[in-house]
Amino acid sequence: MSSPVARGAAWLRRIARRSRRLLPDSKHPAQMVVAGFALAIAVGTVLLMLPISSETGTVTHWVNALFTATSAVCVTGLVVVDTPGHWSTFGESVVLGMIQIGGFGIMTLASMLGMLVARRFGLRMRRTAQTETKSLGLGDIRSVVAGVITVSLIVELVTTTVLTTRFTLGYGESLQHAAYLGLFHAVSAFNNAGFSLYSDSLVRFATDPWICLPMVIAFVIGGLGFPVLFEIGRRLRHQRRYWSLHARVTLGTYATLAVIGVAAFLSFEWNNPGTLGRFGVPGKLLAGFFHGLAPRTAGFNSVDVGELHPATMLVTDVLMFIGGGSAGTAGGIKVTTFALLAFVILTEVRGETNVHILGRKLPVVVHRQALTVVLVGGGLVFVAALALMVLSPFRLDAVLFESVSAFGTVGLSTGITSQLPQAGQLVLVLLMFAGRLGPITLASALALRERGRRYDFPEERPIVG
C-alpha cells in the first residue's frame, strides 16, 4: 500500500495533467483575454466605489462605478456621471490607470493572439510572408510587449508636452495643472478612450489647432494598430520594398474612410447653426476634420453631437461600426474586416471564384470569419438598440447611435447616456465589453478552431435572393 505522501503526489500529478488539458491557453487562449479584462473591470469598480474616489467623499452607486470602469478599461468614453464634476483627483487617476491598462492590454494581447493564429499557416507560407515583409515573427512576444510600451510612451509623452505647453501659454493654467490636463488627455487620446476633464469634452477648443490636431494625431496612431505601426517603423529604418497585405489594406481603407468621413461631415454640417455654422471657414475646416476622424473610435467631440444633422448621424453610425485597425486601441469590426468583405462582394459581382487582394489570394476561411464578425456585431447592436427602445422613451436614431457607439467603443453620445434607466445602462455595459473583446476573441477563436471534415453531404444549391 502506498504512503499518503505518494498518493497525494499521484493525485497532484493527475490534477496537473487534467489542468493542462483544460487551461484556456491550451485550446482557447482568447478566454484569458476575457477573464483578464473582467478582472480589471471588477477591481476598477471597487476602487471607484470608495469614498475617496468622489468629490463629495461619498460612496458611488455600484452601477455608476461599474459603467465608468467598463468604459475606461474598454477605452470607450461613455459616461453616466460628469468626469470632472463627480470624480476626485484620486478617482480621475483610477480612470486614467484603467484607460492605460485597457489600451495596453488590447494592443498587446490582440497582437499576440494574431501571432498565435498565424501559427496555423503552413511553413512555406510563413517563411514566404516573413521573408517579404519581415513582420512580427512567431513567438516574438518580448518584442511585442516592448514595442507596445515604447510606442505608447513616446506618443503619449510627445502629446502631453504639446498639450501642456498650450494649456500653460494659451489658457493661463499653472504648470502642474497643465501637465495633469495634458497627460490625461494624451493618454485618453492615444488609447481612443474619449474621457475628458472638461464637461463639454473639447467643444471649447473646437477652433484651437494646438489642442485638436495633437489629439487627432494621437488617436489616429493608436487606432491604426501595433502591427501596422511596427511595420511602418521597420520600413522607415530599413527602407524595405514590400508591405504586408494587412498593412496595405489597413492604411488604404483607413485613409479612404477618413476622407469620406471628413467630406460628409463638412457637407452636412457646413451651415448647421448648432455645429459648424457658428464658425468661420478655418474653424469649420478644423472641426470638420476633427469630427471626420473622431468616429474611428476616438470618442472626443468638439461640437454638440446632439445637434448633428440626421444624415451626419447615420454616416457616423457606419464609421463607428467599422472602427479602426486590428490590434490597436480602436474598436468596431475593424477596417480590415470591412475591406475584406468589400473585396468578396466585388469578386462575386465579377463572377470570379477566388478573391484576390493586392496580388494575394484570400483564403475561403477568412471570408467566413469576416462575415461572422460583421453579422454578430450587427446582431448585438440590433438587440441592444431594441432593448434601449423598450427600456427608455428615446427615439430610434438616439438609441441606435448610443448602441453603435458602445459596441464600437467610441464614446460619442447624443447626451442620453446618463438619462437611461439603470437596466439600459447595464445593457450598454455588456455591449461595451462585447464590442471591445468580441471581434478579437471571436476572430481568433474561429481561426484556432478551424479543422477539416472527414466527410461531406451531397451538394444542393438553394435559391439566393
**Residue bearing cell 459581382:** 349
Residue 357 confidence class, pLDDT cut points 50, 70, 90 = confident
Which H helix or E strand runs over 167? helix 141-171
Tens of pLDDT, residue by residue over 328-340, are: 788 899 999 999 9
Q: What is the pLDDT of residues 165-222, one digit of tens each?
A: 999 999 999 999 999 999 999 999 999 999 999 999 999 999 999 999 999 999 999 9
Tally of CB atoms within 10 A around 60: 21
Instruction: State the distance between the two ends of the chain, measured CA to CA, in whole angstroms.
Output: 72
Query: Which residue in 420, 418, 414 sits closest to 393, CA to CA?
Result: 420
The residue whose grid cell reads 447626451 is 415
Using CA atoms, how far apart are residues 149 and 108, in angstroms rounded to an integer?
9
CA distance 28 to 87: 38
Beta bridge partner(s), residue 360: 357
Cell numbers representing residue 225 in the block: 494598430
DSSP assignment of 321-353: HH-S-TTSS--SS-HHHHHHHHHHHHHHHHT-S
pLDDT higher than threshold 50 for residue 463: yes
Task: Give 247-275 as a DSSP string.
Answer: HHHHHHHHHHHHHHHHHHHHHHHTT-TTT
User: What band does 448 get if pLDDT is binned at 50, 70 and 90?
Assistant: low
Average pLDDT of span 372-386: 92
Give the least confident one: 145-159, 193-207, 381-395: 145-159
C-alpha cell at 102: 485597457
pTM to 2 decimals?
A: 0.84
> How sure is the predictor about 103, in pLDDT bands with cuts at 50, 70 and 90?
confident
Helix and strand element counts for the chain (H, E)? 18, 2
pLDDT tens digits, one per residue of 2-20: 554 455 555 445 544 544 4
Ranking 74-83, 209-218, 266-275, 327-336 by mean pLDDT, the lowest is 327-336
Q: Are 206 and 287 a contacting pair, CB within 8 Å?
A: yes
Instruction: Using the predicted structure, report yes or no on whether residue 23 has a pLDDT greater than 90.
Output: no
pLDDT tens figures, 293-306: 999 888 899 999 99
Q: Please tell me the distance from the alpha carbon of residue 421 to that of residue 398, in angstroms, as a whole number.
A: 15
H/E stretch holding 158 reads helix 141-171
What is the 3 state secondary structure string of 75-97? CCCCCCCCHHHHECHHHHHHHHH
